[in-house]
Amino acid sequence: CLFLETKRDVHEASLVQREDVAAFVADLSNREFAPSTIERRLSVAKGYHRFLVREGFAEADPTQTIPLPRKPHTLPDVLSVAQVSELLDGLPSSNPVEMRNACLRVSELVGLDMDRVYFEEGYLRVLGKGSKERIVPFSGMAVKRMREYLEEARPELAGAVQHPVPAVFLNARGGRLTRQSVHRITAKAGMAIGVENLHPHTLRHSFATHLLEGGADLRAIQEMLGHSDISTTQIYTHIQAAQLKEEYFAAHPRA
């Protein structure tokens, strides 16, 4: 490590002391590295020194009692109900591509295939992270838009290729729609309502927050989002509390 050699005059890994590691972490912090970057570098150092001890190249691990820095707790961006309504109501649907885009609000559906759509039962079988399957309910306008797309628009898009793919959502060339394309579509729709750099994750966060505000059970939201741990879903309770706090101080500026 260049820091240890130039700043601490330590030239062998087996001679590194706890104070040297602490100084290295402090140096990163003083140079204003992000907590996530410091955490990654310290994690690498911890793994390396564990290896040295395990293989007999060092007697002790100088990083063992150095804690990893805590990442700052940040809340995801969330659109208001009015903004989401404006976004969805403003989506045109005069051609196959626009009809497809109007359906993308249903869920994260890039990997959705035709045999995973159940209209009568009112749900989709979605594959999430780690190929975990979850059931996502859909109804109302989402069902209407999906039927219109599958009956009127998808056949035209699928006709562009010799060997059709099973994907529900196709690009203009008849292939499976990519995540990058969804990002571009979402960002363009956001610009139409004055929201810059709108990301699909923002819509996902907004969906969960609005469900919670409407009284939905946290466990139900966890299932729909595909979170393996309820603590991940609980971040939306913090969002709701933060919004209530903002509204309180806006209404009572002298409180």
Residues serving a catalytic function are 105, 129, 201, 204, 227, 236
Residue 16 has which token pair? 């590194």
Calpha distance 78→70 (Å, rounded): 24
Let me know: does 182 contact 199? Beta carbons within 8 Å: no
Query: For residue 117, what are the β-bridge partners?
Result: 124
Let me know: does 125 contact 116? Beta carbons within 8 Å: yes
Q: Where are the alpha helices (DSSP H) in 90-213?
A: 96-101, 141-148, 154-158, 179-192, 200-213
Query: Computed from CA positions of residues 154, 159, 160, 163, in that sequence, does the dihedral angle turn out positive or negative?
Result: positive
Residue 19's nearest CA partner among 69, 63, 68 is 63
Let me know: does 123 contact 116? Beta carbons within 8 Å: no
Residue 195 has which token pair? 């929201």
Burial status of residue 131 (CB atoms within 10 A of its CB: 0-12, 13-18, 19 or more): exposed
Residues near 183 by Cβ (< 8 Å), separated by ≥ 6?
199, 200
